[in-house]
Chains A and B, each alone.
Chain A
């Protein structure tokens, strides 16, 4: 067992293994972050700094702490404005510094934003606070019928370009699967200085309440089935791009990790499974990975990486075939039947 080498290189960060907890509430407390490290996490993506959340908080602070008065003689204010009040950004930066002090593994700060200015300025602050890398969790849903795919992609590229000029640490772009020419786009990101891509971002999909005719938010944790999308694309991209690839979304078991590494991922991001089963689940996955490697005689993660990528697998077309046909085909009658 001890001869197995789990180490991997993720955007220049030399990691002990490919198991990296992704952005989740577990990084909010030093205690649970330590448990992740103890369980074997090789790096940690911090919970996301949501630009929208910061903006909401700004509004809340302005409305309920700074401009409290309603002009009544008996009440000039309603809530105490404690001098130790710390805006969300300051608190995030301080927490990042605390994590750096408490943990030995690299810390990847996660930025989740919507505007150019916010991203770039906040990215610089995160680097100053000690982040080993940045993950940009880009979410932009294009609803403008006059905006082209190039317009959309240019937003990402522009953002990356500006940030690249401001920070020196590696940058990972966390992407959605909804790009019409994903390989080309990822190459462009690479050209603009991205060090990694994390595939894929899962969006919360709104739902409808058919009684009240209202749109309501929904949150579902991922399942292993969700990892297949990343597996396919990583397998396709492996060897075609130089930057690092992280698989994210639906990584629940050692089997999921193994598949993604075989597809060509450098690291796998764990989230829902850690929330469901606790930080110690990472140890179990790691043991499962090693056990499988031992059984299948892989000495290192490096040997595994990309072994079932499109480049190397026996049936390269299988990654390009659509599910639709495969599913339909599974319901076809055998040729010898009357039907």
Chain B
């Protein structure tokens, strides 16, 4: 490849480029890992980029993938060339429309970043379970195995679908291909034009619905004709493979890259062959080439066109010498006797053998196997394991590879030390960085530089963290003269360069396991060059000595600071990488880094550009090689993942995942139904904060606000008697409680979890107290964590074992007292300063011991339920929230189902108890049946009664007693909470939400409104305010935010509150209490600032206050109970807007950047937004001021 003909991009961009060039309408909806395709399309459209016909495609975001598919169908029916992008559940939601689109023989290509379907758990990673679920829709399926093929097949698919009239799913592996950056030969516009036949496009348009030549499609047919009509499409499917092959041939003529429906690689006389599709085929090809070069009779077959499945082409492609065949599926069809591809191949080969002209002298042994679910690694070692199995007399069928299945023994063994020659010939580099330190972007840039500046091929793949706070990224980079087919991570002893961009990682990751003998190890550390050796853990020292590793250090933070770059060390570390890795001449590399900096930072301003250029120059001067002693002398050991006294469950499962050894956990370690214990986040001590809050009891007024705002439940208060702290550690702080209502003999303490705090400072921000002597000093102040760590760890552990106060004695409507309630949501992996989690902590404090939670997919399901650790936890009695995530779109219905089940079982229990009142004892039975559970005391008493009931039931022989025992816990009040974000509640789940609001059932809906799809990266939702920039609204959203509160209030019987805890905490507290106590449907819409707003989250509280004062977020409570009392149900809890909307908006980058991209439009939208908030306030005020509310208004009407 010459320099001029290569580009370095990832799979998503490759697909999006072709899709954009070849379509007129693009309907999109965000879903990982396909979101970037839509984002590219939206960005290009906002920049006015044109397709090959000179038109700017219309990119429209829909409310769900189902909506996107509907819009695609409509656009296609009206003659536009139309496409969409999706993955996983998104593809499932498109299936109904896909049947229609295919049934009507409509040309389109859907580009799919194939992703795991949620089953026992959600997974955002890649496999083929989604495309397999869609294989019966009538679409054709074309599999691209690499970034190059993604770009090529996107075009081949577009050409073929126009010719064949059969729509095509063009799929590639989510993450492994969609997110892999690779050097590829681009498909240029000339090729695109040459591939698309204008006449076919005319035909597509002529089939459009038009009143000028009207037709009807989508009729309803009866038994007499449906069947025949359905069979009428057969000729099109018969012709399709030939059309695809013709397109491939034409493409080969234009580019030199030849593909076939099935491509065979390997020895011509191969006896053992593997069949598969997707990125695993690249690894398999690399392995086959290795063995072929060593004279082994092995081969592999890449399936390109999976549907229509062309048996003849498959048979033709296989060598006649074949003896044993393994067909690999990257999916699992539970209950089937084999996965789809295996079944197809088995049928094809067997039919050929039984036919008139069999190709094989003997029927080959054909086995099927599963690999790579949820992006599980698939390596040459595993491929070798399969070939070894195929060599056996009776190879295992229905095998798995890549895991240890100690339950049903499906797995094949493999030798993890096996490496191919190709792997040995590439330069491999691994980088451990902090998610926010720029490591990934620097590495992407390095790949591009190497791709552009050398004849080398480059590959980059990035392993991210499931946690949002303090996320760690591991970058895997490969460079080599040959095409890189290694679609797997860099393994142990392979990397010739290992970089640690954060020295704290030395305690956590045994990264030198990756280092090859003679590798370079680069460490960013503030420890001086003369002391750094002694600061390494012993295992690092040993690895450096044993592997003869060249050890370099740099203090990148000092350089970044001195150049004015803050904590952005990317440029420094990138410079060091090029200095230490002889991939391209250093001068050329430095010039390229400077040029890239020029491009990237010019927009940020000259000063930042200059600072980056200075950093490049300073880096080399301060890069030091450390001389390595002959022996390791360190006494520092890498600490265990969790404390030694952690429970066995945590040790066996959680700790292994935390330590990065999850791949080695056998099947038996898991509950088969996906159940996990709660409360495991307490065992993962991440020590993220450089500074932590310290309580100053002498000036504290015990208001509880610090506890109230803490996003990670790390600052807590508790009430206790003096005798309970007799054995307190010497530095444990406590003081008499100030509230007289609680009595004079109680003490209190505000204690911080030093190793769980993220250092967000919200507790300090909210503290209303200043020392009169020294106004700088508040009642909580930030202090460096390391010197406090050991002492406060001891204090925290002591604090935890102090018994929690009796919930019945606390006034839950008083904030300081409510904050003494134990949080049953702690240490989530949310961002520091998260605007959502304080609401979840609050709800867990108030109702956690009786909560059942339906949680929509999104940020809250990720920090709430993503392994390794679970933040929902239990109290000392073992009670706590029971949590489940069903899907994104169905959460309201999911929660309603929970309510219905509880009500049903409660009613059943009551009926049984009625029937058993005499044996149970009428007094107890009626006490239970007539219990008042509206308060803590009532619930406590009921629990005691039910416990007594259960005891008595055990002594009663009647069948009914046994049945009542099964359901008696439902006699105690249960609080059902439906939790999700605005993407769910305003968009994809709105239909369900609406239905639940209308149902009147006793559920509490907590909508955490960040005003964008936060989890997938800030895409526009209908909650996004006018004038805000968000993905899919790059030029600012032109329509106002949907007023969900107003819509919900229209139902009259729904309790509605709009809250912002940082603006008016007591209103938030009261709203939660009222919502839960309301015996019907409640909706709390909770303002949740987010990093997607473009503010540092240490300003979380200030932004909420500004939002309320500007009228952006009116605080209100609408309680239908007030109507019955002749009062207006609506209470407005915030004042008339007191600051201009602009004063709020311009403090957030989401608004302010519009003034830098579209200045006049920004001004117009700001003025409109000001009118919006004025009008909305006026509307609410009018509604709230009506003498007796809506009832009265209706009477007037």
Chain A residues packing against B (C-beta within 8 Å): 29, 54-55, 57-58, 60-67, 69-89, 91, 121, 212-213
Residues of the B chain whose Cβ atoms lie less than 8 Å from the Cβ of A83: 43, 47
Q: Does B1158 contact A (CB under 8 A)?
A: yes
Residues of the A chain whose Cβ atoms lie less than 8 Å from the Cβ of B1090: 78
Residue contact A54 to B1152, C-beta cutoff 8 Å: no
Contacting chain A: which of B148-156, B433-441, B1122-1130?
A: B433-441
A231 to B397, CA, bound (A): 99
Q: Does B1156 contact A (CB under 8 A)?
A: yes
Q: Does B687 contact A (CB under 8 A)?
A: no
- B 605-624 to A, binary, CB cutoff 8 A, 1 in contact else 0: 11110000000000000000
Q: From residue 1151 to 1186 of chain B, which have CB atoms closer than 8 A to chain A?
A: 1152-1153, 1156-1160, 1163
Looking across the interface, which residue of chain B has its beta carbon closest to that of A115? B607
Count chain A CB atoms within 10 A of each CB in B438, B600, B605 and give the residue with the most: B605
Residues of the A chain whose Cβ atoms lie less than 8 Å from the Cβ of B42: 80
Interface pairs (28), CB distance under 8 Å: A57-B1156, A62-B568, A64-B1094, A65-B1149, A66-B604, A69-B435, A70-B435, A70-B468, A71-B435, A71-B436, A71-B472, A74-B32, A74-B35, A74-B124, A74-B1017, A75-B1016, A76-B440, A77-B1018, A78-B1014, A78-B1017, A79-B1029, A79-B1031, A80-B1034, A82-B46, A83-B43, A84-B47, A212-B768, A213-B770
Residue contact A62 to B441, C-beta cutoff 8 Å: no
Q: Known A60-B1094, A61-B603, A213-B775; judge A77-B1017 contact (CB<8 A).
A: yes
- B 593-606 to A, binary, CB cutoff 8 A, 1 in contact else 0: 00000001101111
Residue contact A85 to B1153, C-beta cutoff 8 Å: yes
Which listed residue, B770, B831, B1030, B1159, touches A70 by the CB 8 Å rule? B831
Count chain A CB atoms within 10 A of each CB in B1034, B1035, B1090 and give the residue with the most: B1034
Residues of the A chain whose Cβ atoms lie less than 8 Å from the Cβ of B282: none
A58 to B32, CA, bound (A): 31
Residues of the A chain whose Cβ atoms lie less than 8 Å from the Cβ of B1158: 84
Residue contact A76 to B1156, C-beta cutoff 8 Å: no
Which listed residue, A58, A84, A86, touches B608 by the CB 8 Å rule? A58
Which listed residue, B32, B467, B568, B1034, touches A67 by the CB 8 Å rule? B568
Q: Does B464 contact A (CB under 8 A)?
A: yes
Q: Known A71-B473, A87-B603; judge A78-B1092 contact (CB<8 A).
A: yes
Q: Known A58-B607, A61-B603, A73-B32; judge A79-B464 contact (CB<8 A).
A: no
Which listed residue, B467, B605, B1094, touches A79 by the CB 8 Å rule? B1094
Q: Does B1150 contact A (CB under 8 A)?
A: yes
Looking across the interface, which residue of chain A has its beta carbon closest to that of B1036? A82
Residues of the A chain whose Cβ atoms lie less than 8 Å from the Cβ of B1002: none
Q: Known A58-B608, A79-B1029, A87-B604; judge A69-B47 contact (CB<8 A).
A: no
Residues of the B chain whose Cβ atoms lie less than 8 Å from the Cβ of A61: 603-605, 608
Q: How far is the CB of B393 from chain A (nearest CB, A)?
A: 43
Residues of the B chain whose Cβ atoms lie less than 8 Å from the Cβ of A86: 1156-1157
Closest 6 A/B residue pairs (Cβ): A71-B435, A71-B471, A75-B1017, A58-B605, A78-B1018, A73-B464
List 19 additional contacts besides A74-B862, A79-B1029; criterion CB under 8 Å. A58-B604, A58-B607, A60-B1152, A61-B605, A63-B1096, A65-B604, A67-B441, A67-B570, A70-B471, A71-B434, A72-B464, A72-B467, A75-B1018, A76-B440, A79-B1092, A80-B46, A83-B47, A88-B1156, A121-B606
Residues of the B chain whose Cβ atoms lie less than 8 Å from the Cβ of A88: 1156
Which listed residue, A57, A65, A91, A213, touches B1159 by the CB 8 Å rule? A91
Q: How far is the CB of A88 from chain B (nearest CB, A)?
A: 7
Residues of the B chain whose Cβ atoms lie less than 8 Å from the Cβ of A69: 435-436, 438, 440-441
A76 to B40, CA, bound (A): 13
Q: How far is the CB of A52 from chain B (nearest CB, A)?
A: 12
Q: From residue 458 to 477 of chain B, which have CB atoms closer than 8 A to chain A?
A: 464-468, 471-473
Q: Does B36 contact A (CB under 8 A)?
A: yes
Residues of the B chain whose Cβ atoms lie less than 8 Å from the Cβ of A79: 1018, 1029-1031, 1092, 1094, 1149-1150, 1153
Looking across the interface, which residue of chain B has its beta carbon closest to that of A62? B604
Chain B residues packing against A (C-beta within 8 Å): 32-33, 35-36, 39, 42-43, 46-47, 124, 175, 433-436, 438, 440-441, 464-468, 471-473, 568, 570, 600-601, 603-608, 768, 770, 775, 831, 862, 1012, 1014-1018, 1029-1031, 1034-1035, 1090-1092, 1094, 1096, 1149-1150, 1152-1153, 1156-1160, 1163
Q: Known A212-B768, A213-B775; judge A65-B1153 contact (CB<8 A).
A: yes
A73 to B461, CA, bound (A): 12
Residues of the A chain whose Cβ atoms lie less than 8 Å from the Cβ of B468: 70, 72
Looking across the interface, which residue of chain A has its beta carbon closest to that of B49? A83
A155 to B434, CA, bound (A): 42
A58 to B1152, CA, bound (A): 13
Residue contact A80 to B39, C-beta cutoff 8 Å: yes
Residues of the A chain whose Cβ atoms lie less than 8 Å from the Cβ of B47: 82-84
Residues of the A chain whose Cβ atoms lie less than 8 Å from the Cβ of B1160: 29
Residue contact A72 to B568, C-beta cutoff 8 Å: no
Residue contact B43 to A82, C-beta cutoff 8 Å: yes
Q: How far is the CB of A194 from chain B (nearest CB, A)?
A: 26
Which listed residue, B570, B768, B1034, touches A82 by the CB 8 Å rule? B1034
Residues of the A chain whose Cβ atoms lie less than 8 Å from the Cβ of B603: 61, 65-66, 81, 85, 87
Residue contact B605 to A82, C-beta cutoff 8 Å: no
Residue contact B1157 to A70, C-beta cutoff 8 Å: no
A82 to B1158, CA, bound (A): 10
Q: How far is the CB of B1089 from chain A (nearest CB, A)?
A: 12
Residues of the A chain whose Cβ atoms lie less than 8 Å from the Cβ of B436: 67, 69-71
A71 to B472, CA, bound (A): 6
Count chain B CB atoms within 10 A of each CB in A64, A74, A83, A88 and give the residue with the most: A74
Residues of the A chain whose Cβ atoms lie less than 8 Å from the Cβ of B831: 70
A212 to B1150, CA, bound (A): 29
Residue contact A76 to B36, C-beta cutoff 8 Å: yes
Residues of the B chain whose Cβ atoms lie less than 8 Å from the Cβ of A84: 47, 1157-1158
A72 to B1090, CA, bound (A): 15
